[in-house]
């Protein structure tokens, strides 16, 4: 039975996990940094990197102990090698290299986005390739045709902000606290989604991509008008995001012939309104809808270990001199989106 040790440190979550090739999660340890970043209303890269240094190895040791394994028992060591905050990525990757060298085990450098993309297959053994994936998180908003491990075709991306970033900034504008996504969702439950007129950028457009910067600016204007309660702005914002995600996903379905399922992954996939709406869209198009458990949507090491298991089974390993990457597209051949810049 293949056992993979996975490390995650791309943003503000430090995690270590042991996962088997037949989808057993033997151990998972995670340390969050919410208290450290809350005074700033967002993640401070320098603070995040220092925290990773302090807690990563104790988490590795605890995970091994939880699983009843020694380092010598694992078959490979997988770590996020990008994209992400480069300080944190370097901490995780350098640690994985040291463990790989010391234990003489293969190193697997995992694209963080691939970790999210493959995570639904960890929780759902019946999910087969190919599938249409909506990858929606704090840093990315993309539609991908997932043909297999390492085989991704990007159908759409954001041309400005990611949906998760818009959630976080909306929470900050409304004084709802950090982390922003859950705070906006909680406030929205007490509000009405039809009381604040907000735009739906690119809704109905022939262009395949996403845009959320204008929606974020509209939230600022609604707040400054003084005419709306924060919970109504939150509810209206959340509904606008849902409408945009549905419209753009429906647009991509025409280019995803042969897809076995509509899959959502990434931190925003934990949002209940998003999941419910996408499940309805999949049903309308006679597709299975697959979403990981809520804890697997946010950053975690189990998805990195699982991606490592999938890559190892496909024959992919990496040299010890592989570099950490702050940016790393899943589909390097994709045409650059209008105005997308580094997030393309």
* Rounded-to-integer distance, Cα 270 and Cα 241, Å: 14
Q: What is the pLDDT of residue 340?
A: 56
Pick left, alpha or beta for residue 88 (phi over 0 → left; psi -120 to 50 → alpha; otherwise beta): alpha
Structural domains for the chain: 3-117+296-328 (3.30.420.40), 128-291 (3.30.420.40)
DSSP E strands, 83-160: 107-111, 131-136, 141-148, 151-156
Question: Splitting the chain (344 residues) into consecutive groups of 10 residues, what average pLDDT does each group show?
Answer: 97 96 98 91 92 97 98 98 97 98 98 97 97 95 98 97 95 93 97 97 95 96 98 98 98 95 97 98 97 95 98 98 96 85 46
* Rounded-to-integer distance, Cα 219 and Cα 169, Å: 10
Neighbours of 188 (CB within 10 A): 23
* Rounded-to-integer distance, Cα 44 and Cα 264, Å: 27
- Local structure of residue 40 (DSSP, 8 states): G
* Rounded-to-integer distance, Cα 114 and Cα 93, Å: 16
Neighbours of 272 (CB within 10 A): 12
Secondary structure (3-state) at 262: strand
* Rounded-to-integer distance, Cα 128 and Cα 120, Å: 10
**Residue 322: Cβ-neighbour burial (10 angstroms; 0-12, 13-18, 19+):** middle
Secondary structure (3-state) at 156: strand
Secondary structure (3-state) at 110: strand
Nearest alpha-carbon partner for 77 in 19, 1, 11: 19
Secondary structure (3-state) at 159: coil
């Amino acid at each position: 039975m293949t056992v993979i040790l996975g490390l995650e440190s791309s943003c503000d979550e430090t995690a270590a996990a042991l996962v088997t090739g037949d989808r057993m999660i033997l151990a998972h340890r995670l340390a969050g940094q919410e208290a450290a970043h809350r005074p700033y209303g967002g993640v401070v890269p320098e603070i995040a990197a220092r925290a990773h240094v302090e807690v990563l190895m104790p988490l590795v040791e605890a995970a091994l102990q939880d699983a009843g394994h020694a380092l010598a028992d694992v078959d490979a060591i997988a770590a996020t090698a990008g994209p992400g905050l480069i300080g944190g990525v370097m901490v995780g990757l350098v640690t994985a290299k040291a463990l790989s060298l010391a234990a003489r085990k293969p190193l697997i450098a995992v694209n963080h986005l691939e970790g999210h993309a493959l995570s639904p297959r960890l929780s759902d053994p019946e999910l087969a390739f190919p599938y249409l994936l909506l990858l929606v998180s704090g840093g990315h908003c993309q539609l991908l045709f997932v043909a297999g491990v390492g085989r991704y075709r990007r159908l759409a991306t954001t041309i400005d902000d990611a949906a998760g970033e818009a959630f976080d900034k909306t929470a900050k504008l409304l004084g709802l606290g950090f982390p922003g996504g859950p705070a906006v969702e909680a406030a929205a439950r007490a509000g009405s989604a039809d009381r604040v007129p907000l735009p739906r950028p690119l809704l109905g457009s022939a262009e395949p991509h996403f845009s959320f910067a204008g929606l974020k600016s509209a939230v600022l204007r609604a707040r400054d008008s003084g005419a709306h309660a924060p919970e109504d702005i939150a509810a209206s914002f959340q509904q606008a995001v849902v409408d945009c995600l549905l419209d753009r996903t429906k647009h991509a379905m025409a280019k995803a012939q042969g897809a076995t399922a509509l899959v959502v992954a990434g931190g925003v996939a934990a949002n209940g309104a998003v999941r419910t709406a996408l499940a309805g869209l999949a049903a309308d198009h006679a597709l299975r809808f697959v979403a990981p458990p809520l804890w697997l949507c946010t950053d975690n090491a189990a998805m990195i270990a699982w991606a490592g298991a999938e890559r190892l089974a496909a024959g992919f390993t990496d040299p010890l001199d592989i570099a950490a990457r702050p940016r790393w597209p899943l589909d390097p051949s994709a045409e650059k989106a209008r105005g997308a810049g580094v997030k393309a």
